[in-house]
Amino acid sequence: MKAEWLIHKGASKLILFFAGWGMDPRLFERIAAKESDVLMFYNYCEDEFPAFAAESCGDYDHVSLVAWSLGVPVAERVCRQQSLEPCCSLAVNGTPCPVDDRYGIPVSLFDSTIKALSEESLLRFYRRMCKQPSLLEQFLENVPRRTIQELGLELSVLRNVSPCDQSVFHRALISTHDRIVPAGNQLRCWQKLGVPTGNIPGPHFPFYDYASWEDLIGTGTSTR
């Protein structure tokens, strides 16, 4: 996987952000941080956790974890492999069961996405992810610079991530109009794992509703 600093100003707090499939840092550079550095992970074609990222975690007094979409199962795996124990951890529109008819993305939908992946199908995916024309326009202004070949490989890798029966996440946010990971599947999964959830309005991509990473982390009223 790749890692890149979104914000690196020598703060005492660190936010580890695991993005979803097909993303890159361009989409998230506009989001500020009030008192944190932000290190983003993306492009999961390779499993290896960057060495500098593991070393950086020890430089901070407070480490938070935010994972979105298919970044959620990747973050689960990394935390276990690296023995990371964030002070707080938030999952957004994803579950530790990436491909599952009851707890994640339905199997037929995931497999058809791999099989039919093209520039045209990718644009359709972006439309479903953003839902609102105004949000789609903002998204496309910062569209990730990734190749179809690379995206197909990344999907295949994520297809084989093993689900877990325990979670490192303290809380999960679920968008009410998520058309990528069904909201009902998300809720069912987190209830099974005993993780409190909160609802937020909007589609699968919620980030431009928040002025800062801290605002996102502080969002959501528990439904448990």
**Does any domain span residue 164?**
yes
**Does any domain span residue 224?**
no
**Does any domain span residue 26?**
yes
- Are the CB atoms for 216 and 93 separated by under 8 Å? no
> What is the DSSP pairing of strand 171-175 with strand 197-200?
parallel
Number of independent structural domains in the chain: 1
Closest CA to 64 of 31, 28, 38: 38
**Does any domain span residue 23?**
yes
Closest CA to 96 of 111, 80, 120, 119: 80
Under the banding of pLDDT at 50, 70 and 90, the label for residue 223 is very low
Q: Residues of the chain with pLDDT > 70: what percent?
A: 98
Under the banding of pLDDT at 50, 70 and 90, the label for residue 10 is very high
**Does any domain span residue 40?**
yes
Q: pLDDT tens digit string along 65-118? A: 999 999 999 999 999 999 999 999 999 999 999 999 999 999 999 999 999 999
Q: pLDDT tens digit string along 12-47? A: 999 999 999 999 999 999 999 999 999 999 999 998
Specify the CATH number for the domain of residue 160.
Answer: 3.40.50.1820
Domain residue limits at 34? 2-217
DSSP category for residue 69: T
Q: What was the pLDDT predicted at 92?
A: 98
- Indicate if the pLDDT at residue 175 is higher than 90: yes
- Show Cβ contacts of residue 212 under 8 Å, excluding neighbours closer than 6 positions: 31, 32, 33, 34
- Indicate if the pLDDT at residue 221 is higher than 70: no
Under the banding of pLDDT at 50, 70 and 90, the label for residue 219 is confident
Under the banding of pLDDT at 50, 70 and 90, the label for residue 161 is confident
Residues 148-174, mean pLDDT to the nearest whole number: 93
Specify the amino acid at residue 51.
Answer: A
Q: What was the pLDDT predicted at 222?
A: 37
- What b-and-e string marks burial along 157-166, b requiring 16 or more CB atoms within 10 Å of the CB? bbbebeeeee
- What b-and-e string marks burial along 184-220, b requiring 16 or more CB atoms within 10 Å of the CB? ebbbbbbeebebebeebebbbbbbbebebbbebbebb
**Does any domain span residue 223?**
no
- What b-and-e string marks burial along 126-144, b requiring 16 or more CB atoms within 10 Å of the CB? bbebbbeeebbebbeeeeb
- Indicate if the pLDDT at residue 224 is higher than 90: no
